[in-house]
Amino acid sequence: MLFPPLDGSLLLPELFAFNARHNTDRPFYIFSNADGLTTVTHLEFYRACHRVAHALRPNRTGPEGEVIAIIAQTDNILYAALIVGTMIAGAIVRIFHLFRFHLLKVTVAIPHVSTKLRSRSDEYAAEDWLSPNNFHAVFSACSLG
């Protein structure tokens, strides 16, 4: 295993790129499921992050530095891929807890990535926290496969 420099010369997305390049087959996540243990390698995780980045900004089109709110009820692996993918896309990640929708009203965070919470986000938005017209789902699901 080759370790990346920890001197501050690499940003977080660059650390993931380093591991995808130099530690391709090394485990990034290992988790238990009904069939036993499942391993996600550094390369698989990094590719998932790039799928998120491409879903947000295909070919990096659109404005750089856009604020993205992630509202997702999902597992840790997918959540991490959403965060890192958003960074790779050149956007700014804002993570909001479900019960803090009022923050969306007072910030410029309009786009968001949603998985199973689409109906809930509409419900919360309808409660005068934020206009439902301001919600734009980038995509409804993302997978590591």
* Predicted local distance difference test score (pLDDT) of residue 120: 54
96 vs 23 pLDDT, higher one: 23
Q: What is the pLDDT of residues 44-71, one digit of tens each?
A: 999 999 999 999 899 888 888 888 877 7
Q: Is the dihedral of CA 124, 126, 127, 130 positive or negative?
A: positive
pLDDT band at 108 (very low <50, low <70, confident <90, very high): low
- Specify the pLDDT at position 139: 33
The pTM for the full model equals 0.66
Domains defined for the chain, CATH in brackets:
12-137 (3.40.50.980)
Please report the pLDDT score of residue 74 as a whole number. 78
Torsion of CA 11, 109, 100, 105, to 10 degrees: 150
Angle (CA) 63 100 140, round 5°: 55
Question: What per-residue confidence (pLDDT) applies to 128?
Answer: 44
Tell me how far apart the alpha carbons of residues 142 and 1 are, in angstroms, rounded to a whole number.
29
Q: Give me the mean pLDDT over the 35-47 stretch.
A: 95
